[in-house]
């Protein structure tokens, strides 16, 4: 092999090394950019945590022992919409009613849907809710004025396996509705928020913010 051929081989080697170095530098730059993007998304995720106003009030049509739960997206500045919002009624806190297992005549499906609390969704409102606990996902837009949901509630009843009367049941239930709201919007991870709404008397609108 002559000196010119050796020179060509060396040049090719240098080119390969240079190309590899450029590729490595680009990869590192991309990784750094992705890391910064991730940090920025996480920061914005915190800044854009949704703010909801939740109002519990007596049924507007005067239906006996019915109520409405209104949920409004009110902030923060910069969050003009959510792609999906799902609302779920939770059991009362600090009590494990199924800790000793299920009664013989109670199925797992019944246990999952049974609400230990004063109110549940009206499950016949099938356009809005999946069942007595959970709503169907819907989009909220503050720009379009479609930033709210009005959900019908009914009092919960004692389980068929209980000897408790409906009157006793109502007296025993804590006068607080616990609600979780899951909101999602690309490119962020979903937000999961917990609210506790006093339900004493239903004499007028009562509003709570996230805890």
* pLDDT tens track for 56-114: 988 766 665 789 999 999 999 999 999 999 999 999 988 888 888 899 999 999 999 99
Give the rounded distance of the alpha carbon of 151 from its chain centre. Answer: 16
Q: What is the pLDDT of residue 8?
A: 47
Angle at 174 between CA 169 and CA 177, to 5 degrees: 110
Mean pLDDT taken over the chain: 82
Assess contact for 105 and 137: CB atoms under 8 A: no
Q: Which domain holds residue 115?
A: 50-208
Q: What is the pLDDT of residue 18?
A: 53
Residues 33, 68: one domain? no
Residues 61, 34: one domain? no
- Separation CA 18–CA 3 (nearest Å): 22
Residues 30, 104: one domain? no
Residues 97, 64: one domain? yes
Residues 17, 68: one domain? no
Beta strands in 25-167 (DSSP E): 51-58, 67-75, 81-90, 119-121, 138-141, 148-155
Assess contact for 140 and 185: CB atoms under 8 A: no
Is residue 156's pLDDT more than 60?
yes
């Amino acid at each position: 092999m002559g000196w010119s051929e050796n020179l060509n081989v060396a040049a090719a080697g240098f080119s390969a090394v240079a190309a590899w170095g450029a590729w490595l530098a680009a990869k590192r730059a991309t990784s750094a950019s992705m890391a910064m993007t991730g940090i920025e998304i996480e920061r914005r995720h915190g800044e854009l945590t949704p703010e909801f106003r939740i109002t519990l009030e007596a049924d507007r049509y005067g239906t006996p022992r019915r109520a409405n739960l209104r949920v409004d997206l009110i902030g923060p500045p910069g969050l003009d919409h959510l792609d999906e919002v799902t609302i779920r009624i939770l059991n009362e806190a600090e009590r494990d009613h199924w800790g000793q297992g299920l009664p013989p005549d109670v199925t797992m499906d019944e246990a999952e849907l049974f609400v230990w609390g004063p109110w549940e969704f009206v499950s016949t409102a099938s356009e809005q809710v999946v069942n007595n606990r959970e709503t169907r996902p819907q989009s909220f837009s503050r720009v379009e004025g479609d930033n709210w949901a009005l959900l019908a509630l009914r009092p919960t009843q004692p389980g068929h396996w209980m000897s408790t009367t409906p009157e006793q049941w109502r007296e025993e239930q804590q006068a607080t509705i616990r609600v979780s709201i899951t909101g999602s919007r690309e490119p962020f991870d979903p937000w999961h928020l917990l609210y506790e709404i006093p339900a004493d008397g239903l004499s007028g609108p009562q509003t709570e913010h996230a805890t």
